[in-house]
């Protein structure tokens, strides 16, 4: 097609001007004027600039397609994953931005309704009780509208998560917790030679996980480890997350040790799900804070604080999930402690205390370091906890 340019007249120009006006690039005072005047050209240039198109002030095929996509407002048509030519448009971009705000993974808001967007829509649908077909039609639009701005910074699932925790009471009895010792098999994680010995992250975190399993089981928790001590191949994090989901776990705890070329790097850090635009899992963040504070208080490891990350493990798990980096194996100070079984017991007690506190209502929370983990066992043994 011949580019529509300055001086042209006709219905195509009217259409171009109308789209530019809805994008606030052109004053809408004379929306149906049919002349491609200097204002129109300026608006076309601004539009091309904003879309990363070559800026020539004329409407050729490419700019026409971009303008066509730009006029769709969210809710004006049903969106679905079309192959091989995916739907594109401003409505897709708005939907993607909305989903991102709520913590769904659509990748980038690129205005293209691809597989990832379709999957995120399906996940949203599942969580609000709609058939998860990945198509954004009137029902899904209604659900998005009903949620309004309420859920900015939290998926509906996360709101339900906090509610469920509040309503389920403080007992640990009968809960399911998945404990994930990192690495394993062909992947030893951080490795530090020590004379004839060789310390590996995979072995040490498996030992930590087994101790944690024992403590939690004693408190009445059903515990599932994601791997044994002699795993053949390293399980990807995606599979570990799916395992936790398929078990309907209440909590997911991943255990790692850190490593750094600089032996002075030391300390403990805890990670929960969150993205750069401030989206975070509220319960995950709370659990991470509790784990971090309890470990620091009970072990004296340096406090490297809690951090939000969008790692697969944290993103794909559908329950409060944390990953703890329990010290640096490469730090002589941290390592001397980590290889001591009594120290590992203290770490484990700290994690159990943190999980217990997560189930206390915030107003009845107790000071860090104050829960005697062995008492949880006594309470279970005495049968005073209602199952």
Q: Is 132 exposed, middle or buried (0-12, 13-18, 19+ CB in 10 A)?
A: middle
Of 103 and 182, the one with the shorter C-beta distance to Zn ion is 182
- How far apart are CB 323 and Zn ion at their closest, in Å? 9
Comparing every residue's Cβ against Zn ion, the nearest one is: 256
Q: Is residue 256 a contact partner of residue 322, using CB atoms and an 8 Å limit? A: no
Of 182 and 289, the one with the shorter C-beta distance to Zn ion is 182
- How far apart are CB 339 and Zn ion at their closest, in Å? 17
Which stretches within the chain are classed as H helix?
A: 11-22, 38-50, 61-70, 90-101, 115-128, 138-147, 156-167, 201-218, 237-246, 282-299, 312-316, 332-338, 341-358, 373-381
- How far apart are CB 182 and Zn ion at their closest, in Å? 4
- How far apart are CB 158 and Zn ion at their closest, in Å? 26
Of 89 and 327, the one with the shorter C-beta distance to Zn ion is 327
Site for Zn ion in 188-217 (CB under 5 A): 189
HSE (side-chain half, CA atoms, 13 Å) at 82: 9
Closest residue by Cα to residue 257 from 344, 186, 346, 190: 190
Q: Among residues 103, 114, 181, 182, which is the contact residue for Zn ion, using CB under 5 A?
A: 182
- How far apart are CB 330 and Zn ion at their closest, in Å? 12
CA atoms of 242 and 337, how far apart (whole Å): 33
Stretch that binds Zn ion, among 4-12, 84-92, 186-194, 373-381 (CB under 5 A): 186-194
Query: How many residues belong to the site for Zn ion (CB under 5 A)?
Result: 3
CA atoms of 76 and 190, how far apart (whole Å): 53
Of 114 and 189, the one with the shorter C-beta distance to Zn ion is 189
CA atoms of 167 and 192, how far apart (whole Å): 45
Binding mask 253-272 for Zn ion (x = CB under 5 A): ---x----------------
- How far apart are CB 209 and Zn ion at their closest, in Å? 13
**Could you give phi then psi for residue 323, rounded to 5 degrees?**
-120, 125
Q: Is 271 exposed, middle or buried (0-12, 13-18, 19+ CB in 10 A)?
A: buried
Q: Assign residue 60 a region: left if phi > 0, alpha if psi is -120 to 50, beta otherwise? A: beta
103 counts as binding Zn ion under rule CB under 5 A = no
Stretch that binds Zn ion, among 18-26, 151-159, 169-177, 183-191 (CB under 5 A): 183-191
Of 256 and 272, the one with the shorter C-beta distance to Zn ion is 256
Of 8 and 180, the one with the shorter C-beta distance to Zn ion is 180
- How far apart are CB 187 and Zn ion at their closest, in Å? 9
Binding residues vs Zn ion (CB under 5 A): 182, 189, 256
């Amino acid at each position: 097609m011949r580019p529509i340019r300055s001086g042209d007249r006709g219905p195509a120009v009217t259409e171009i001007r109308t789209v530019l006006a809805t994008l606030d690039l052109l004053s809408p005072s004379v929306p149906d004027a049919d002349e491609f005047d200097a204002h129109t050209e300026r608006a076309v240039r601004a539009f091309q600039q904003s879309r990363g198109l070559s800026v020539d002030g004329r409407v050729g095929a490419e700019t026409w397609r971009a303008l066509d996509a730009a006029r769709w407002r969210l809710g004006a048509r049903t969106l679905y994953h079309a192959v091989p030519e995916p739907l594109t448009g401003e409505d897709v971009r708005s939907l993607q931005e909305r989903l991102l705000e709520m913590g769904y993974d659509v990748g980038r808001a690129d205005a293209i309704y691809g597989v990832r967007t379709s999957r995120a829509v399906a996940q949203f649908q599942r969580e609000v009780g709609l058939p998860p077909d990945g198509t954004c039609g009137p029902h899904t639009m209604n659900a998005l509208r009903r949620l309004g701005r309420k859920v900015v910074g939290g998926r509906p699932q996360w709101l339900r998560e906090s509610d469920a925790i509040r309503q389920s009471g403080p007992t640990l009895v009968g809960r399911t917790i998945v404990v994930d010792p990192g690495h394993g098999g062909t992947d030893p994680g951080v490795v530090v030679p020590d004379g004839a010995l060789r310390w590996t992250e995979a072995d040490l975190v498996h030992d930590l996980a087994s101790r944690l399993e024992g403590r939690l089981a004693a408190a009445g928790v059903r515990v599932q480890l994601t791997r044994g001590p002699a795993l053949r191949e390293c399980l990807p994090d995606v599979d570990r997350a799916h395992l936790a989901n398929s078990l309907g776990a209440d909590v997911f705890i991943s255990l790692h040790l850190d490593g750094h070329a600089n032996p002075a790097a030391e300390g403990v850090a805890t990670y929960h799900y969150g993205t750069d635009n401030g989206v975070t899992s509220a319960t995950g963040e709370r659990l991470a804070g509790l784990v971090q504070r309890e470990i620091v208080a009970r072990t004296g490891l340096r406090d490297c604080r809690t951090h939000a990350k969008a790692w697969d493990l944290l993103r794909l798990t559908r329950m409060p999930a944390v990953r703890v980096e329990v010290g640096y194996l490469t730090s002589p100070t941290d390592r001397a402690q980590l290889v001591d079984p009594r120290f590992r017991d203290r770490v484990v007690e700290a994690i159990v205390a943190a999980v217990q506190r997560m189930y206390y209502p915030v107003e009845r929370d107790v000071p860090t370091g104050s829960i005697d983990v062995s008492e949880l066992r006594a309470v279970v043994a005495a049968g005073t906890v209602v199952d």
